[in-house]
Amino acid sequence: MALNKYSRIYTQDDSLPASQAMLIGSGLSEEDLRKPFVGICSTGFDGNTCNMHLNALADDVKQGVNQAGMVGLRFNTIGVSDGITNGTPGMRYSLVSREVIADSIETITGAHNYDALACVVGCDKNMPGSLMAMARLNRPSLMVYGGTIKGGDFKGQKLNIVSCFEAYGKKLNGAISDEDYKGIIRNACPGPGACGGMYTANTMASAAEALGMSIPFSSSSTAISAEKKQECLTTGQYLLRLLERDIKPKDILVREAFENALVLITVLGGSTNAVLHLIAIAHAAGVKLTLQDFQEVSNRVPVLADLKPSGKYLMEDLSALGGVPAVMRTLLDEGLLTGDLLTVTGQTVAENLADIKPLGQEQDLLRPLSNPIKADGHIQTLFGNLATKGAVAKISGKEGHKFEGPAIVFDSEEELNEGITLGKIKPGHVVVIRYVGPKGGPGMPEMLKPTSAIMGAGLGDKVALITDGRFSGGTHGFVIGHVCPEAYDGGTIALVEDDDLITLDATTNTIHLHVADTLLQLRRDKWQRPASEVKQGVLLKYTRTVSDASNGCITDLEEESHVNERETSTSIA
């Protein structure tokens, strides 16, 4: 079997001399034109700790690919830093960037007919975007995670990026001096790597490893470690094996692989953003994944890892104990993972883990099944008259399982941030942030700034928060996002008024607004969709094509795209 079955269109066809001339002009030899071409995508860019080192790692991958007898061809795509953009209008572009990343990787790999693909990725949307592209293209591929950042330190306090957001809340509350506030900012991010807790980046990296789309240890090796560099250098050997055996993403991304990923992120206490991303990756792979699948796993799998944001440890601490493979081996031994599934190593999950030592009683980061942090999963899906198509809660157990109280309603994140500053949020409130969904935001921005400010103000265990937006992996507290239908689509969340009673129950998985149906209908009759500020460009395209959160905010669901376009065109004409 020819290993250059895609690139040979350009390199071996005598009727395409211009193609060959340009390739030779770019530095390739005639011998190179007979080798497989490997596209090496980097989401590296300056000015963000998660991505600042990725171009150098991509160069290591290219070196390894060339040493394996192939031709490595590096290209770049965009990234958006969630940590930098959180709490600003720039955050509207974050989830949108997942689609741009997937589309751009698919575009250049498809257009230039690369035979295989390696993606070197760091921040939250880089990983699902790259995996979506790999599944669409379905040619030998693997993902290289740029690695987690090391924790910061200030006055003996261990820091990470969320420390900064919570310090802001403390500053508003007068609980921290300006000197200490600045000290936390200066010391929270000591160098390259993705945000250090079990936030979205580390969650999705772990999920990718459980899916079998990255080599063992990729998700837990730190960014500036010898292990990470060696991983990059050996990537070429794995890609050559995938080419020789013709192992493609859809051979790996089967239903059971997604179940393994759901089990792992539940045990680790991962980000609710994984719901959006795994549904989208599964869609690209032709696998149907729903909110009910997440709930089924949460019903039977406990939270075992004491990792931030709710716990005390960072990913670098897990790395020192054997990393994600040690967790997976522990879960495999307990019968919680399917072991006979193919991975990018060319071996099965069980074969990859055969020589890995499970985590034992010598550590307290991962609890035994007999003594879980939470007996069921932290990701809970809720349904009710406030979310007829579902909502997603992150319930660690520390904040309780039920909350009932009067609503206080804000029509934007900015309104809520002002409300916190003015002291409008009181103990017992159910805080509602709406018109921040996929279409209403647009872009479904994360609500990390307000949730962190609430924590910093000492209200974290005294209020609940619901939104049609989403949450950072760094968010904790009694929070419920992804409320669907969103307010912009006329969902019930658009009809809530101050002081309406709301009940949130993670034991019955219900979310209920205590307002009579007749009164709700009167409000609905008066409701008008607010005019969108978006008139052109990528955000307008996204608004017109994006599906709802329960479908993963996918932009290529044909049956929903036309509906969304019709609805949006009437509202922003």
Per-residue pLDDT tens digits for 469-507: 998 876 777 899 999 999 999 999 999 999 999 999 999
Residue 332 has pLDDT above 80, yes or no: yes
Residue 97 forms part of a structural domain: yes
Which pTM does this prediction carry?
A: 0.95
Residue pLDDT, tens place only, 415-439:
998 998 888 999 999 999 999 999 9
Are 298 and 424 part of one and the same domain?
Answer: no
Cα separations in angstroms, 92 against 41, 404, 407? 24, 30, 25
Q: What mean pLDDT, rounded, does the chain reach? A: 94
**Which pLDDT belongs to residue 559?**
55
Are 166 and 104 part of one and the same domain?
Answer: no
Q: Give the CATH number, domain containing residue 92.
A: 3.40.50.2300
Are 137 and 183 part of one and the same domain?
Answer: no
Residue 185 has pLDDT above 80, yes or no: yes
State yes or no: 50 annotated in a binding site: yes
Where does residue 341 rank: exposed (0-12), middle (13-18), buried (19+ CB within 10 A)?
buried
Residue 390 forms part of a structural domain: yes
* Per annotation, catalytic residue among 472, 532, 547, 550: 472
Residue numbers of the domain that contains 178: 152-190
Residue 410 forms part of a structural domain: yes
Residue 449 forms part of a structural domain: yes
Q: Which of 402, 56, 102 is nearest to 229 (CA)?
A: 56
Residue 571 has pLDDT above 70, yes or no: no
Q: How many domains is the chain built from?
A: 3
Q: Give dist(CA 121, CA 133) in Å, integer.
A: 13
**Non-local CB neighbours of 416 within 8 Å, separated by 6+ positions:** 410, 431, 433, 450
Q: Give dist(CA 400, CA 455) in Å, integer.
A: 16
Q: Which of 176, 285, 223, 233 is nearest to 62 (CA)?
A: 233
**Non-local CB neighbours of 328 within 8 Å, separated by 6+ positions:** 209, 210, 264, 337, 349, 353, 356
State yes or no: 418 annotated in a binding site: no
Strands 510-513 and 116-121: unpaired
Are 103 and 134 part of one and the same domain?
Answer: yes
State yes or no: 82 annotated in a binding site: yes
Q: Give the CATH number, domain containing residue 392.
A: 3.50.30.80
Q: What are phi and psi of 89, to 5 degrees?
A: -60, -20
DSSP 297: H
Residue 372 forms part of a structural domain: no
Average pLDDT over residues 387-406: 90
Residue 2 forms part of a structural domain: no
Helix, strand, coil % (nearest 5) of the chain? 45, 15, 40
Are 89 and 156 part of one and the same domain?
Answer: no
- Of the two residues 455 and 117, the one the predictor is more confident about is 117
**Which pLDDT belongs to residue 148?**
97
Are 477 and 406 part of one and the same domain?
Answer: yes
Are 387 and 496 part of one and the same domain?
Answer: yes
Quick one: tokens of 74?
Answer: 């590096």
Residue 567 has pLDDT above 70, yes or no: no
Residue 564 has pLDDT above 50, yes or no: no
377, 401 contact by CB (below 8 A)? no
Q: Give dist(CA 520, CA 517) in Å, integer.
A: 5
Burial 206-218 (b: 16+ CB within 10 A, else e): bbbbbbbbbbbbb
Average pLDDT over residues 321-340: 98
Are 169 and 252 part of one and the same domain?
Answer: no
Quick one: tokens of 5?
Answer: 């079955």
- The identity of residue 329, as a single letter, is R
Q: Give dist(CA 272, CA 347) in Å, integer.
A: 30
Quick one: tokens of 121?
Answer: 């990725």
Are 432 and 422 part of one and the same domain?
Answer: yes
Residue 451 has pLDDT above 90, yes or no: no
Average pLDDT over residues 333-354: 98
Residue 87 has pLDDT above 90, yes or no: no
Are 94 and 172 part of one and the same domain?
Answer: no
Helix (H) or strand (E) segment spanning residue 37: strand 37-42
Average pLDDT over residues 532-547: 96
Q: Which of 553, 533, 504 is nearest to 435 (CA)?
A: 533
Residue 566 has pLDDT above 90, yes or no: no
**Which pLDDT belongs to residue 568?**
36
Of 134, 160, 190, the domain-final residue: 190
Residues β-bridged to residue 382: 391
Residue 28 forms part of a structural domain: no
Residue 376 has pLDDT above 50, yes or no: yes
Are 156 and 47 part of one and the same domain?
Answer: no
128, 100 contact by CB (below 8 A)? no
Percentage of the chain lying above the pLDDT 90 cut: 86
The answer to whether residue 472 is catalytic is yes
Residue 555 forms part of a structural domain: no
- Of the two residues 300 and 397, the one the predictor is more confident about is 300
- The identity of residue 373, as a single letter, is I
Q: Do you find a cis peptide bond into 442, omega within 30 degrees of 0?
A: yes
Are 298 and 170 part of one and the same domain?
Answer: no
User: 């939250």: which residue's tokens?
Assistant: 124
Of 190, 216, 242, the domain-final residue: 190
